[in-house]
């Protein structure tokens, strides 16, 4: 037992700097709160957030363009009202064509 202990202490004494460096790199690289792995996770999260920022910037630009069109062109307001809200002038009729499938009951009544 004494011989094993002395061989272990001799090994530790000979390689103490190497062991310290390896343990330090392992601690800083993987275990620490600011480790390399945590940094990689943050980089992935940052790239995802940057993509989201680009998406919202594009959405904001299109909304600003739409707002400018609405402010400058009264006919564009009329077009939006007609297309999206089915508004009409007093002397007009609106026909809305649906692409929905007809119910089976309606088909049965029509075939009778």
Predicted confidence (pLDDT) per residue in 3-13, tens digit = 888 888 888 88
Pick the more confident residue, 29 or 11.
11
* pLDDT higher at 107 or 74: 74
* Res 108: pLDDT: 53
Question: For residue 37, what are the contacts with CB-CB under 8 A and spacing of at least 6?
Answer: 29, 30
Lowest-confidence region among 1-5, 26-30, 91-95: 91-95
Q: Sorting pLDDT into bands at 50, 70 and 90, what band is 48?
A: very high
The Cα 83–Cα 96 span in angstroms is: 10
Question: Can you give the residue ranges of every domain in the chain?
Answer: 1-32, 35-111
């Amino acid at each position: 037992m004494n011989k094993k202990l002395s061989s272990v202490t001799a090994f530790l004494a000979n390689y103490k700097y190497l062991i310290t460096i390896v343990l330090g790199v392992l601690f800083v690289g993987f275990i620490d709160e600011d480790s390399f792995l945590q940094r990689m996770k943050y980089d992935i999260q940052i790239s995802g957030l940057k993509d989201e920022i680009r998406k919202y910037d594009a959405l904001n630009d299109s909304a600003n363009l739409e707002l400018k069109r609405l402010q400058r062109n009264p006919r564009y307001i009329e077009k939006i009202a007609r297309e999206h809200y089915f508004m009409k002038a007093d002397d007009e009729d609106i026909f809305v064509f649906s692409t929905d499938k007809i119910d089976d009951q309606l088909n049965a009544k029509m075939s009778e």
